[in-house]
Amino acid sequence: MPSFDVVSEVDLHEVSNAIDQANREVGTRFDFKGTDSKFVQKDEIITLHTGSDFQIQQMRSILFNKLGKRGVDIASLKSDDVQTTVKQATQVVTLCQGIDTDTARKIVKLIKESKTKVQAAIQGDKVRITGKKRDDLQDAIALLREADIGIPLQYENFRD
C-alpha cells in the first residue's frame, strides 16, 4: 500500500553554513566594525550578539537572507524578544522542527474533510498518509500545499 510521511524539518548543516556566511559578512561590514557582533549556533538555537537593538535588526536581516539562499524556510524560525543591556543586545532565534500534536490533528482533519481516499495517522512528530493509489497520495500532497498549516511541510519516504 503506497504511503508517505509529512514532516517539518530543517537541514542543520545548511543552517550552519548560512551562519558561517553571515558571520563573515558581519565581520567585513563597515557598520559592524568594533562592535563584536556575531552569530552563535548551539543545536537548534541561534543567538545574535551585537551592540544595539538597531544592529540586531540588521543582523536578523542578514541571517534570514543567508538562510533563504541556502534553502532553509524562514517560516521555521521563531524569534524571541531582544534583550538589551548597557553595552550589548542579544536575540535568540529558535529553529522549529517536527510537527506538534495540534498541527498534526489539523492535518489529519484536513485530509478527512477532503474526502480523498487516503488515511492519515499521527506518528510522533510526523504524519503518515497511506492510500491505495499513487494518484490519491499526490492529491493529498497538493491539498496540503494549498492549505495554510502555519509551518513549512516536507514530504518524504514516498513508497509505492
Extents of the domains making up the chain: 3-8+99-159, 12-95
CATH code of the region 3-8+99-159: 3.30.70.860
Residues 2-29, mean pLDDT to the nearest whole number: 92
Q: What is the pLDDT of residue 34?
A: 83
Q: What is the pLDDT of residue 114?
A: 87
Q: Looking at the chain, which runs of residues are DSSP E strands?
A: 3-7, 38-42, 45-50, 77-79, 83-84, 89-95, 118-123, 126-131, 154-159
DSSP SS3 for 18: helix
CA 66-155-98 angle, to 5 degrees, is 70
**Cell digits for 116?**
480523498
In the CATH hierarchy, which top-level class contains the domain 12-95?
A: alpha beta
Q: What is the pLDDT of residue 32?
A: 87
- pTM (2 d.p.): 0.83
Q: What is the pLDDT of residue 33?
A: 87
pLDDT single digits (tens) 81-128 = 999 988 899 999 999 988 988 999 999 999 999 888 999 999 988 999
